[in-house]
Amino acid sequence: MKRMLFLIAALGLAALGCSKEAPLQPTVEPSLSVKPTLSKVETTEYQYFLGEEGDPVVSEASTGDRVEIVGEGTFSVHPKSTITGGGEFVHKDGSGNVLESGNWTATQLISFHSYGSASIQGLPAEWEGGLALIRVQLSSGSDGILKVDCRLGDFPAASTEGASFVIQDAVNFNKRIGGGTLFIRTSP
């Protein structure tokens, strides 16, 4: 009996054209017949911007230290995320003395969540808000994570424009002080 049920199920899947290679979704035609179609995952590409020369993104640690960040790059999401880009950073103590400065390079897009188009704010439709987590490497050899938040589109009330920066085994700049960020969708 089990063999018969398995054979019926296998024949049913074969009739629908199911395979292990491609996930299928039924599509209802006007004649009300069910026709399998391949689901397609598209890649979406973005540019990202953090501050600009003379107006960096600034975040602060609990010690009063601050980090100023500028940079830009590109990334893509789905099915395989990629990222490029980088910029400069300056780490200052609470009195404004420079403790470290250098470059950062984006090495991995950990995640990205789009808040949607900025057209609801009257801005270009390809501008988007969102939250990105980006793994970076500093010119000093340390690794860190940038958390970039852009308050455009349908952003959550708890979001805060700017970026926070955690340097591995060092400082957590988790209080966003100022500076602008932007994501621009470049395809599709």
Residue-wise pLDDT tens digits, 61-109: 999 999 999 999 999 998 788 999 999 999 999 999 999 999 999 999 9
Q: What is the DSSP letter of 5?
A: H
Which 3 state secondary structure label does DSSP give 9? helix
Between vectors from CA 48 to CA 142 and to CA 84, what angle results, nearest 5°?
A: 50
Residue-wise pLDDT tens digits, 16-73: 333 333 333 333 334 333 444 444 568 899 999 999 989 999 999 999 999 999 999 9
Contact 79, 41 (CB under 8 A): yes
pLDDT attached to residue 80: 80
Band (pLDDT 50/70/90 cuts) for residue 143 is: very high
pLDDT attached to residue 69: 97
- Alpha-carbon torsion 9, 11, 17, 20, what sign? positive
Between vectors from CA 68 to CA 47 and to CA 86, what angle results, nearest 5°?
A: 35
pLDDT attached to residue 41: 66
Per the document, the length of the chain is: 188
CB atoms closer than 10 angstroms to residue 87: 21
Closest to 60 measured CA to CA, from 153, 157, 177, 160: 177
pLDDT attached to residue 5: 30
Contact 55, 30 (CB under 8 A): no
Strands 66-77 and 44-50: antiparallel
Predicted TM-score (pTM) of the model is 0.77
